[in-house]
Amino acid sequence: MAEPKKLFIKTYGCQMNVYDSERMAEAMGGQGYVTTDTPDDADMILLNTCHIREKAAEKVYSELGRFKPLKKAKPDLKIGVAGCVAQAEGAEIMARQPLVDLVVGPQSYHRLPQLEAEARKGRKALDTDFPEELKFDHLAKRPKARRAPTAFLTVQEGCDKFCAFCVVPYTRGAEVSRPVARVLEEARDLVERGVREITLLGQNVNAYHGDAEGGAWGLARLIRNLAEIDGLDRIRFTTSHPNDMEDDLIAAHGDCAKLMPYLHLPVQSGSDRILKAMNRKHTAAAYAELIARIRSARPDLLLSGDFIVGFPGETEEDFQDTLRLVEQVRYGQAYSFKYSPRPGTPAAEREAKMVPADVASDRLARLQALLNRQQMDHQQAMVGRTASVLFEKAGRMEGQLVGKSEYLQAVHVDAPESLIGQIARVEITEAGPNSLGGRLL
């Protein structure tokens, strides 16, 4: 019997790319591939790329350059680029880096087996279309092997918001929601394989409106029905837009016990002037009022957010507005970045209004200092409290396990490996910036 071919996938960026990489591996599993943790012994290498961060494309080209010796030593090695950089750069990737055999966009990776077959015939394979058929309808069902107790499940893709700084509408396309029956079927399958916690994914996940008998369901109704699945103990969702946080979803945070008290809700800026320039279509006051409503439904909610500093035209006064909003809202976790232009987006055309790099760096340092203090305050407030921890894996120290609290905080506990995949009560005894320590109760 022939040995299986080996597939190495390197994943960049968001949780949706993690989900996509899993599905690509499953698609290629049907072609006789098994995954490997190193490119050195791979028969096929895939880079699943992200276009959000600064100089994303250049980082991909740099990574591809490192594979030249592998390709030279193993001419039959096939190298592919997938994801959002593939969608944005298309044929240019193959022109700039001839060792690339195939390029596939994030909406076309269900066609990966056909593209690989083309590459095996010595032909370059490129597919960055936005196909009329949903890729999810053509992917093979997940294999029944046991898996980790947490899983991502994509329910929505694309975005219609067209924020001035964002490439997602151009690389992922318009908003599309998966049918309710397909989502519930995949969720049940994951639970049968040992999953206890599912995170629902979407570029704008709370815009979910999936087809179902009797009419489309919103995200709240989907969550309530997922909560009825025996064995599924925790539900999360990310990433959301403030303008799509509807009343029933707010209510679900208060009355759906399986929906965890953690919410990632990006605002990007606290300045109304900058929010308008970003095309966010909400004000800082509206965002703060929304947070107050959600916390009224779930008082112990831990809030996470995204911030961009140095957006074209941002003044020190605008930045101070951001600091004031952060002080008002108080985040348990946040992600903050300096603005960097993305080709093809409206903001990239505002070169004359670019904030000097040293000014943007100073603002980022001040914002991160404030956000870090707030995160540490939330961490320290957990000491002496009891947390519900889902244990996911062994820790670095012998006899230690690592899991996540209901607030998505990493928790380290001395516990037997038999508890992996189980939820246990833990008294929190110590707090660090990024993790907690505790003891089993």
CATH of the domain at 398: 2.40.50.140
- Structural domain that includes position 176: 147-381
User: 177 has which bridge partners?
Assistant: 156
Q: Which of 99, 127, 155 is the last residue of a domain?
A: 127
Identify the CATH number of the domain in which residue 113 sits: 3.40.50.12160
- 332: closest CA among 243, 260, 233? 260
- Residue 300 and residue 435 in one domain: no
With cut-offs at 50, 70 and 90, classify the pLDDT of residue 133. Answer: very low
Total of domains in the chain: 3
- Collect all residues with Cβ–Cβ distance below 8 Å to 212 and sequence separation of at least 6: 179, 180, 181
Average pLDDT score over residue span 293-314: 98
What does the pLDDT look like over 138-150, one tens digit per residue? Answer: 555 655 566 789 9
Question: Chain-wide mean pLDDT for the chain?
Answer: 91
| pLDDT attached to residue 141 | 60
Cα-Cα-Cα-Cα dihedral of 131, 135, 139, 142, to 10°? 170
Of the two residues 429 and 90, the one the predictor is more confident about is 429
Query: Which value, in Å, is the radius of gyration of the alpha carbons in the chain?
Result: 22
Handedness of CA 285, 291, 296, 302 (dihedral sign): negative
User: What's the rounded Cα separation, in Å, for the pair 57 and 340?
Assistant: 13
The answer to whether 136 and 180 are in contact (CB under 8 A) is no
For residues 118 and 240, what is the distance between their CA atoms, to the nearest angstrom? 38
Identify the band that residue 55 occupies on the pLDDT scale cut at 50, 70 and 90: low
- Say yes or no: 20 and 164 in one domain: no
Choose the weakest-confidence range: 104-113, 379-388, 400-409, 410-419: 104-113
Residue 193 sits in the same domain as residue 319: yes
Q: What is the pLDDT of residue 400?
A: 96
What pairs with residue 423 in β-bridges?
390
End of a domain among 334, 351, 381? 381
pLDDT digits (tens, 9 = 90+) for 171-200: 778 899 999 999 999 999 999 999 999 999
Cα–Cα distance, 150 to 78 (Å, whole number): 31
Token duo for residue 14: 């968001």
Place of tokens 């055309």: 349
Residues 214 and 79 in one domain: no
Residue 133 lies in a domain: no
Enumerate residues 6+ apart whose C-beta is below 8 A from 384: 427, 428
Residue 357 lies inside a defined structural domain of this protein: yes
The pair of structure tokens assigned to 43 is 């028969």
Q: How far apart are CA 169 and CA 415, in angstroms?
A: 45
Alpha-carbon distances of 313 from 52, 185, 271, rounded to whole Å: 20, 48, 11
* 136 belongs to a structural domain: no
Q: What is the pTM of this model?
A: 0.82
- Count CB atoms within 10 A of the CB of residue 340: 16
CB 221 within 8 A of CB 206: no
Pairing of strands 102-104, 125-127: parallel
Q: Please report the pLDDT score of residue 142 as a whole number.
A: 56
Pick the last residue of a domain from 362, 381, 400.
Answer: 381
Task: For residue 18, give the amino acid letter.
Answer: V
- Bigger pLDDT: 390 vs 132: 390
Statement to judge: residues 75 and 190 lie in one domain: no
Q: Are 31 and 13 in contact (CB under 8 A)?
A: no
Has residue 310 been placed in a domain?
Answer: yes
Indicate whether 142 belongs to any domain: no
H or E element in which residue 307 lies? strand 302-309
Quick one: 192 and 316 in the same domain?
A: yes
CATH number at residue 325: 3.80.30.20
pLDDT at residue 21 above 50?
yes
Assigned domain for 73 exists: yes
**292 shares its domain with 198:** yes
Asked whether the bond before 239 is cis by omega within 30 degrees of 0, the reply is yes
| DSSP designation for 259 | B
Across the strands, what pairs with 46?
A: 9, 80
What average pLDDT does the segment 346-374 reach? 94
Euclidean distance between CA atoms 18 and 369, whole angstroms:
29
* CB-CB contact of 192 with 145 (8 Å): no
Kindly state whether residues 266 and 290 are assigned to the same domain. Answer: yes
**318 in the same domain as 241:** yes
Verify that 205 and 342 share a domain, yes or no: yes
Q: Does 322 reside within a domain?
A: yes
Residue 135 pLDDT class (50, 70, 90 cuts): low
Is 256 annotated among the ligand-binding residues?
A: no
Q: What is the pLDDT of residue 58?
A: 78
Residues 165 and 249 in one domain: yes
Would 160 be classed as within a structural domain? yes
Residues 315 and 407 in one domain: no
Among 103, 106, 4, which Cα is nearest to 52's?
106
- Mean pLDDT for the stretch of residues 351-363: 93
Distance, in Å, from the CA atom of 35 to the CA atom of 38, rounded to the nearest integer, reads: 9
Specify the range with the lowest mean pLDDT, choosing from 3-7, 196-200, 309-313, 431-435.
Answer: 3-7
pLDDT for position 134: 56
